[in-house]
């Protein structure tokens, strides 16, 4: 089940941190590492700090964008170092571990997303995540080393997983259908945005935070596939009406 | 109160690990570092990895024995990597954080003791500790980096300290606004249904379970008032378009 949880590192500068992250992952039983445009990888420093977690490094997937890193995922949790102007559902690391394990247990693919050493994740990247997680830290010295941050979240994943293992087998599920994946959600947001422009609700010149707020709303709901097809159907019909195309309306 | 909790590193080989431990400590609000016969300290590598936690390194006390490092302490908790033949009171990291904070709050001096990179603490050293703490890890790859182990325990100390303070571990911030009331939700569903009829997505003669499924979707999301006004605004604009009324669209 832990194999359903991937660690995504975005634009890492120092290969030593990639190695340290790989070691922390393997220590905690995680194995899937995805690197978005790392500055320097593979590198000797990465292998040195991995200290035996070479299999994690060797299996690391290197991709060109966060979007690509999240393909197949239905839950992404992004690390956020500080207060953002954008309000977003926040988790502490313990809640993050519990949520990742709970959702991975149903067969979903989960991503824990870590930003650049100094700059973290951009607002655009954070908006692709359903939840943000903040590791509580000294306000006067708040920036954790990247591998240390991976260590803390991976540790909380393991703690939650151990609890889950010890817990009586829950008969749940069946309730929600299969969830829409992140890339399906992205296509939906894209369709939604175009439709809102078509009906002139969204001014592309002054988008304000409209799409961010809608992402936050739908991101919270864990939309399943049949709901997604309803939402997409509504948008398609709305666009036909807005464009004056023939549509199903009878009158 | 956190100043009553010291971190003791015994016979550390790599100065980089001392620096990494200092950074992890300062991130979590700990400041007192005691080094028992470090192999190489002070060292450039320590300062580099400390990455700004120079005050912790500069204030580090270097001593000749564990006994000396524990002077004044009434509680010592030693990290133990694996099962020992020696039965001893064991804590997990969460219990370790809670116990350290609970006792530090009464003014006691507490030590968290970490062993050598490869060999850990000797049985003799472990017997000087009141409790042992084991960080749960992958049995096939169980040895954490020293600074990563310090990070995990210091994190649990901070989590326990925040709980003790009554502070939420996460930055709450204007997370969700005031939620829409049930009657506001009902008016929204009513508006949504009319709009779906207007765009001919919903056939009033054969409604199937469409509205029930949409209620389930939005009902899950705990929609707040500002989100509600966005959703209502979208419906109003969609209706104008569907009815051929003048709307905001420019073209």
In this predicted model, what pLDDT tens digit does every residue of B57-94 receive, in sequence order? 999 999 999 999 999 999 999 999 766 666 788 999 99
For residue B198, give the 3-state DSSP assignment.
helix
Mean pLDDT lowest among A233-247, B7-21, B123-137? A233-247
The tokens describing B186, both together, are 């009902």
Gap between the Cα atoms of B12 and B149, Å rounded: 13
The tokens describing A233, both together, are 């159907």
In this predicted model, what pLDDT tens digit does every residue of A180-201 receive, in sequence order? 888 889 999 999 999 999 999 9
Minimal C-alpha gap between B27 and chain A (Å): 5
Gap between the Cα atoms of B120 and B222, Å rounded: 49
Residue of B nearest to A248 (CA): B200
Helix (H) or strand (E) holding B10: strand B5-10
In this predicted model, what pLDDT tens digit does every residue of A25-68 receive, in sequence order? 999 999 999 999 999 999 999 999 999 999 999 999 999 999 99
User: Do A8 and A36 contact (CB within 8 A), yes or no?
Assistant: yes
Task: Number of helices (H) and strands (E) in chain B: give both, helices first.
Answer: 10, 7
Among B142, B200, B248, beta carbon nearest to A27: B142
Best B16, B141, B174 member to test A by mutation, with max A CBs in 10 Å, is: B141
Q: Which of B7, B12, B50 is nearest to B30 (CA)?
A: B7
Does A200 contact B247 at a Cβ distance shorter than 8 Å? Answer: yes
Among B52, B159, B230, beta carbon nearest to A136: B159
Position B30 scores a pLDDT of: 98
In this predicted model, what pLDDT tens digit does every residue of B104-114 receive, in sequence order? 999 999 999 99
Residues of B in contact with A53 (CB under 8 A): 141
How far, in Å, are B22, B80, B125, B172 from residue B15 at the CA level? 11, 21, 21, 37
Residues of A in contact with B24 (CB under 8 A): 144-145, 148
Looking at chain B, how many residues does it have?
251
Position B85 scores a pLDDT of: 62
Position A251 scores a pLDDT of: 47
Does A152 contact B147 at a Cβ distance shorter than 8 Å? Answer: no
Residues of A in contact with B175 (CB under 8 A): 87-90
- Domains annotated for chain A, with CATH where assigned, are 2-166 (3.40.1280.10), 182-242 (1.10.8.590)
Residue carrying structure tokens 């104008």:
B240
Position B13 scores a pLDDT of: 98
Does B201 contact A134 at a Cβ distance shorter than 8 Å? Answer: no
Range from A16-25, A169-178, B177-186 that averages highest in pLDDT:
A16-25
Residues of A in contact with B241 (CB under 8 A): 198-200, 238, 241-242
- What's A137-201 look like in SS3? CCCCCCCCCHHHHHHHHHHHHHHHHHHHHHCCCCCCCCCCCCECCHHHHHHHHHHHHHHHHHCCC
Range from A22-26, A70-74, B198-202 that averages highest in pLDDT:
A22-26
Mean pLDDT of A139-145: 94
Does B28 contact A247 at a Cβ distance shorter than 8 Å? Answer: no
Instruction: Give the CA dihedral A116, A97, A30, A43, nearest 10 degrees.
Output: 10
**Rounded to a whole number, what is the distance in angstroms from the first to the last CA of chain A?**
53
Sequence-ordered alpha helix ranges (H) in B10-136: 15-27, 44-50, 54-58, 66-69, 93-104, 123-127
Position A165 scores a pLDDT of: 86
Reply yes or no on whether the pLDDT at B18 is more than 70: yes
Minimal C-alpha gap between A71 and chain B (Å): 23
Gap between the Cα atoms of A92 and A243, Å rounded: 45
Q: How far is it between the farthest Cα atoms of chain A?
A: 72
Reply yes or no on whether the pLDDT at B226 is more than 90: no
Does A218 contact B222 at a Cβ distance shorter than 8 Å? Answer: no
Reply yes or no on whether the pLDDT at A3 is more than 70: yes
What is the pLDDT confidence band of residue B180, given thresholds at 50, 70 and 90? confident
CA atoms within 13 A on the CB side of A215: 26
Residue carrying structure tokens 């290197």:
A62
Residue of A nearest to B118 (CA): A51
How far, in Å, are A80, A118, A126, A128, A184 from residue A113 at the CA level? 10, 15, 9, 10, 19
Residues of B in contact with A152 (CB under 8 A): 151-152, 155
What percent helix, strand, coil does chain B show, rounded to 5?
Answer: 45, 15, 40
Position A158 scores a pLDDT of: 97
Helix (H) or strand (E) holding A75: strand A75-79
Gap between the Cα atoms of B185 and B216, Å rounded: 12
Report the b/e string of B136-173 with b at 16+ CB within 10 A. bbbeebebbbbbbbbbbbbbbbbbbbbeeeeeebbbee
User: Do B146 and B21 contact (CB within 8 A), yes or no?
Assistant: yes
Residues of A in contact with B239 (CB under 8 A): none
Gap between the Cα atoms of B198 and B12, Å rounded: 73
Task: For chains A and B, count residue pairs whose Cβ atoms are closer than 8 Å.
Answer: 183
What is the pLDDT confidence band of residue B184, given thresholds at 50, 70 and 90? confident
Does B169 contact A227 at a Cβ distance shorter than 8 Å? Answer: no
Does B169 contact A92 at a Cβ distance shorter than 8 Å? Answer: yes
* E-assigned strand segments in B61-215: 61-63, 75-79, 90-91, 110-114, 131-133
What percent helix, strand, coil does chain A show, rounded to 5?
Answer: 45, 15, 40
List residues bridging with B77 in a β-sheet.
B112, B131
The tokens describing A201, both together, are 């609700």
Mean pLDDT estimate for chain A:
90
What is the pLDDT confidence band of residue A83, given thresholds at 50, 70 and 90? low
Residue of A nearest to B30 (CA): A138
User: Do A85 and A53 contact (CB within 8 A), yes or no?
Assistant: no
List residues bridging with A113 in a β-sheet.
A8, A78
Q: Which of A79, A145, A118, A19 is nearest to B27 (CA)?
A: A145
Best A150, A242, A247, A251 member to test B by mutation, with max B CBs in 10 Å, is: A242
């Amino acid at each position: 089940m832990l194999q359903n949880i991937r660690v995504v590192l975005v634009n890492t500068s120092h290969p030593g941190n990639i190695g340290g992250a790989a070691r922390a992952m393997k220590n905690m039983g995680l194995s899937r590492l995805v690197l978005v445009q790392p500055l320097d990888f593979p590198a000797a420093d990465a292998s040195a700090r991995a200290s035996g977690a070479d299999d994690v490094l060797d299996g690391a997937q290197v991709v060109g964008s966060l979007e690509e890193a999240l393909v197949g995922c239905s839950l992404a949790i992004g690390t956020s170092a500080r207060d953002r102007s954008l309000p977003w559902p926040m988790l502490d690391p313990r809640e993050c571990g519990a949520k990742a394990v709970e959702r991975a247990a149903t067969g979903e693919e989960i991503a824990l997303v870590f930003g650049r050493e100094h700059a973290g994740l951009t607002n655009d990247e954070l908006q692709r995540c359903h939840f943000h997680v903040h590791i509580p830290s000294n306000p006067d010295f708040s920036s954790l080393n990247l591998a240390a941050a991976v260590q803390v979240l991976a540790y909380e994943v393991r703690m939650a997983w151990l609890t889950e293992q010890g817990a009586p087998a829950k008969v749940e599920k069946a309730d929600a259908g299969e969830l829409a994946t992140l890339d399906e959600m992205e296509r939906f947001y894209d369709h939604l945005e175009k439709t809102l422009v078509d009906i002139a609700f969204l001014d592309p010149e002054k988008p304000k935070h409209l799409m961010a707020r809608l992402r936050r709303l739908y991101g919270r709901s864990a939309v399943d596939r049949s709901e997604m097809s309803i939402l997409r159907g509504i948008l398609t019909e709305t666009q036909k009406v807005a464009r004056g195309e023939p549509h199903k309306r009878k009158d």
